[in-house]
């Protein structure tokens, strides 16, 4: 399958971890032995069909903002209900405690981001490299920060510092 026009994997190798590849008896989760982080597939010309056929959604930052805004708006987008309000409510409530500051809903992390004297409860997605999609209900604000610090120590802390010290710090 040809890649969608204008889309490129860049340094991303997420599907080389996420996919189950029966050809190599590779379960979903661990990185494929043929993948070089930041360098891609070392057997690209001979990669199995499942790898050739896979296309992720290639969500752009604007797409991710829309998902966060959809959840902030109770599952509605431009007046049309896309996701049930009950699911939005349930998935953005705590169902597991991760540590003192962090809880987990259903596919959303939950915690408060502090900036100066203020603290903003948020629900957010958090991905390898330090990528974050954040929704702050009290501010009706959605924020996307993309980052390529894959597997690097401090990747999430760096993004959170950008969020608190450079984005939330501008909120009056």
34 interacts with ligand SF4 by CB under 6 A = yes
Strand, helix or coil for residue 29: coil
Token pair 């809880």 is found at 103
* Contact pick of 2, 5, 6, 12 for ligand SF4 (by CB under 6 A): 12
Long-range contacts from 150-155, C-beta under 8 angstroms, 24+ separation: 150/11, 150/37, 150/38, 151/37, 155/128, 155/129, 155/130
CA torsion sign for 35, 47, 16, 61 is positive
**Rounded least distance, CB 157 to ligand SF4, Å:** 24
* Residue 44 CB, nearest approach to ligand SF4 (Å): 7
36 to 75, contacts with ligand SF4 by CB under 6 A?
41, 43, 47, 51, 56, 58
Q: Look-up: residue for tokens 């992390």?
A: 109
User: Least distance to ligand SF4 from the beta carbon of 28, Å?
Assistant: 11
Q: Which residues form the interface with ligand SF4 (CB under 6 A)?
A: 9, 12-16, 19, 21, 32, 34-35, 41, 43, 47, 51, 56, 58
């Amino acid at each position: 399958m040809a890649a969608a026009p204008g889309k490129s994997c860049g340094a991303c190798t997420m599907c080389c971890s996420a996919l189950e590849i029966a050809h190599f008896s590779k379960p979903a989760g661990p990185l494929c032995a043929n993948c070089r982080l930041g360098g891609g597939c070392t057997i690209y010309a001979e990669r199995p069909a499942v790898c050739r056929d896979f296309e992720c959604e290639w969500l752009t930052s604007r797409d991710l903002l829309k998902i966060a805004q959809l959840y902030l708006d109770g599952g509605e987008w431009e007046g049309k209900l896309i996701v049930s309000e009950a699911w939005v409510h349930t998935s953005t409530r705590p169902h597991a405690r991760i540590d003192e500051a962090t809880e987990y809903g259903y596919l959303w992390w939950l915690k408060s981001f502090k900036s100066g004297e203020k603290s903003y409860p948020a629900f957010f997605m958090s991905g390898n490299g330090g990528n974050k999609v954040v929704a702050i209900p009290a501010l009706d604000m959605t924020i996307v920060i993309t980052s390529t610090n894959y597997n690097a120590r401090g990747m999430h802390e760096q993004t959170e510092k950008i969020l608190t010290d450079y984005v939330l710090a501008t909120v009056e």
